[in-house]
Amino acid sequence: MKSQKIAVLDFGSQYTQVIARRIRECNVYSKIFPYNVSAETLREEGIQGLILSGGPASVLREDSPRPDPAIFELGVPILGICYGVQLIAFMMGGEVKRSDRREYGHGTLRTVRESRLLASLPGEIRVWNSHGDRIIRLPEGFETVAETENSEFAGIEHPEKEIFGLQFHPEVSHTECGSEILRNFLFKVCGCTGDWSMANFIERSVEDIRKFVGKEHVVLGLSGGVDSSVAAALIHKAIGDQLTCVFVDNGLLRLHEREQVELLFRENFSMDLRVESQADLFLDRLKGIEDPEEKRKKIGNAFVEVFEMAIKKIGDVTFLAQGTLYPDVIESVSIDGNPAALIKSHHNVGGLPEKMRLKLLEPLRNLFKDEVRLLGRELGLPKDVLWRQPFPGPGLGVRVLGEVKEEYLEILRRADAILQEEMVTADFYYKVWQSFCVFLPVRTVGVMGDERTYDYVVALRIVESADAMTADWARMPHDLIRKISNRIINEVDGVNRVVLDVSSKPPSTIEWE
């Protein structure tokens, strides 16, 4: 039996992904579609309900994004949020006009009529508004269920057609009881039962992977990070020895990283893991290179070269597996007339599919990051893999400033291992976004014992962040910083000074290069 599904049409709102996440938190599967998806496609998807997101456009503009009008004849409950409710009013015969003043920020919502959408809520709640247009006349058959200071139609519904609209954003944390409103729509209106879970996701995914792959062979570039590790575990559960994982030891890894990956995946999961030891190749390509972007390109190109050689050794391979996540998929879709600005272009590893003519297998492409961690836990992956801090693709190559040398890498590995060990011991590792060392090719005078030293500097970078878009330096206990500094200076040959990076992003970046 297929899980129930709620479709979210994206009209360019910054909160579209938040809506989808809130639905999944209720154990109901959600899927984001472009705003102009056809009603027939939605019917074929077997959706249980439909949500129209907010967006930056005005329905009063002729070129504003509009959905397929046939969605209103699908016979499933519909909820319009912000721009979505204005679309409903405008397209069904009501009237919308530019508001005299933009309603942005907190407002007070007052319930004026009983509604399944607002069932069991207090008579007044604080809600979050963000709109410049407002409805001034409802379409036939609609009635008001709630109002705010600036809108007498802040909550509307058509009881017979089960079409609802909210002029505020229930999905954001600023709205009181927002989750309850969405739950009411899912369970009281759409009749969902909350049957979506990681256990049945695994069951369906295993079945889908087996059907998709058949008897062909799959290769996956395993980095040891969260996404590739969970993808490897899921695919291996489905097809076993038909999966070969390739781990590239580029000489830019952290202390004992290769051994840890081998132990987990080869020994504990009994996977076919091939390790390509190519440290000399990568270091040779990086000789004399100081520019950060040039280093990244050299490392990326060398990775593609090594990966291609590894696939030739494996032999007959049909599929390339990758740990692509749902936000990557959403952000990468560029549709004619899409009202949302394209956030970024998501590139698969080095353009490998095009060069190698391999079919892509992306079993995590419908999951958010937190869901991937839940999936990994169900599959038996340890906490230190699932909650590993972000690590740059070029590895320590961009944490050694300037030219990368083996001497510098060895110093950085040992210093970084001490930092990570102390962060874990002090129970701070999983509380910050990232904590790492940076090697500075700067020598300073010091005194150790009775001798003068002239050694290198290591910087500590410890930041707090929610999504890496912005970040601030973490205020760590002074005793912990002192202990880390003392250990690095005393235990790592070649270092006589440790500094702390106290800059935020912006204007700085998290990584130094």
Residue list for the binding site for ATP: 223-229
- Give the β-pairing of 151-158 and 143-148: antiparallel
In three-state secondary structure terms, 217 is: coil
C-alpha span between 342 and 376 (Å, rounded): 30
Q: Across the strands, what pairs with 444?
A: 455
Cα-based distances in Å from 315 to 178, 301, 309, 318: 53, 22, 10, 10
* Token pair recorded at residue 70: 């046939």
Give CA 115 to chain center in angstroms: 35
333, 293 in Cβ contact below 8 A? no
- Residue type, position 65, single letter: P
Q: Which string of DSSP letters, residue by residue, matches 45-96?
A: HT-SEEEE---SS-TTSTTS----GGGGGS-S-EEEETHHHHHHHHHTT-EE
* Rounded (5°) CA angle 38-43-45: 100
C-alpha span between 147 and 155 (Å, rounded): 6
Edge-to-edge strand ranges of the sheet holding 243-249: 272-277, 243-249, 218-221, 319-321, 359-361
First to last CA, the chain: 50
C-alpha span between 355 and 364 (Å, rounded): 23
Tell me which residues are annotated as active site. 82, 169, 171
Cβ neighbours, 10 Å, residue 448? 11
**Which helix (H) or strand (E) covers residue 330, if one does?**
helix 326-332
**Which helix (H) or strand (E) covers residue 182, if one does?**
helix 178-183
User: Which residues in 84-122 are b (16+ Cβ under 10 Å) and which e?
Assistant: bbbbbbbbbebebeeeeeebeeebebebbeebbbbeebe
Half-sphere exposure at residue 418, Cβ-oriented, CA atoms within 13 angstroms: 24
The rounded radius of gyration (Å) of the Cα atoms in the chain is 27
- Residues tagged in the binding site annotation: 223-229
Q: Which string of DSSP letters, residue by residue, matches 432-456?
A: SSEEEEEEEEEEEEEEETTEEEEEE
Ranges of H-type helices in 197-256:
198-213, 226-239
Cα-based distances in Å from 22 to 64, 170, 392, 493: 27, 10, 29, 50
* Token pair recorded at residue 81: 């949020």
